[in-house]
Amino acid sequence: MSALCLTLAEQSLATLNEKIRHYAGRVAFIEVRLDYLADPGGSPQLPSTPTRFIATCRPAGEGGCFQGSEAERLKILQNSIDIGFSWIDLEQSVSVYPAAFQDVSVLRSHHDFFGSPSDPTELYREMRRLPGQAVKLAVTPLDGRQAVRLLQWAEGLPGDHRKVILGMGRVGQPTRVLGPLLGSLWTYVVEDGERAVAPGQFSLPETSGVLRLESWNGSEGRPSLYAVLTETDFGFRICRILNRLFADRGLRAACLPLAVDEVVPWLEYLRKSSLHFQGLAITGGLARGAAETHLGTVGLPDEAVDTLRRTVNGWETGSTGSALDLPGTMVPSESRAWVSWLAGQFRFWTGTEAARDALEAYLEQEMQGREREES
């Protein structure tokens, strides 16, 4: 079962406790970064709630803030069990495994902030042999093909493995979206973009209405999946609008944003992936790049393509009519182009018309939200 995990990193224990109370019950997991506290040995107050809490006290050498001794750090993590934490994040490099850790779920983690192995298999096997209940592998893809390779590798892992697989940085962001669909226990989010504790983390407001992972784990199963490939920073806003249109029509479908810098590796991957996406959209500059790329190498015609949908015979390609001139920003003066593109995209994917007044209202809400964030 995949879910959102909200990371809270505060210097003040009082502020941390206030935020824990605010978010408890709103997300499935909360990771508390004890190493960010002015006094890492402080005791957060965990309310009785369905939310499960993860204790992390990352040392400076692993990208964290804790400057004390290893013995002190392990003692802090042991004390977190008595406080009520149900998970502890313990780095792969830690050889000491206190007996107290038998009473809690342990996530064995490995972070590489500089690269991504071409084949993580042996590293993953080593980590699974360590004491613990789950494995976290966080690496840094340097380009789209490395990010795709990480996801292809993750698809081949047994479904019963408890794991969190993700790519850090801008290039790795699509793995944070797709990883949970491939079996990761959760994907990390933060309160807002200014509070990211690892490169490429999304904010909780961004993911609202888009990554509804918990709701996809019920008896009805996963919805039909669509993706928007975009080089801009408002992919979540586009997908939130399209998801509202799906809901308006009573369609069990979800649109996910994939922020990418190149098209071909992702078209190759999504065409063959077991996730079986039903449609893809390519926005703005990426669409212009796709028009100049030999898409025949990925089984698509060498022509201007900005939208695809799956058919019984494979991918059918088309154009919404305005995508090659789609604005690179989402501002009121360009709303007409956005409404045309969104309406055309929805029509091509579903064969139904979107109510333009509803679409304009949804777009205005997203634009206002963006203006509030920038003010």
Q: Based on the residue annotation, tell me whether 75 is a catalytic residue of this protein.
A: no
With tokens 């698509």, the residue in question is 300
Amino acid in the structure at residue 94: V
Amino acid in the structure at residue 134: A
Instruction: Map residue 164 onto helix, strand or coil.
Output: strand
Distance of CA 36 to the CA centre of its chain: 23
What Cα–Cα distance (Å) separates residue 279 from each residue in 80, 140, 227, 306?
Answer: 45, 28, 6, 11
d(CA 251, CA 298) in angstroms, rounded, equals 29
Query: Considering 19, 110, 111, 163, which one is annotated as catalytic?
Result: 111
d(CA 296, CA 300) in angstroms, rounded, equals 5
Residue 302 · residue 326 · CB < 8 Å: no
Read off φ and ψ for residue 15, nearest 5 degrees: -65, -40
d(CA 198, CA 188) in angstroms, rounded, equals 9
Residue 4 · residue 204 · CB < 8 Å: yes
Within 10 angstroms of residue 199's Cβ, the number of other Cβ atoms is 16
Q: Based on the residue annotation, tell me whether 111 is a catalytic residue of this protein.
A: yes
Query: Considering 19, 75, 110, 136, which one is annotated as catalytic?
Result: 136
Give the active site residues.
111, 136
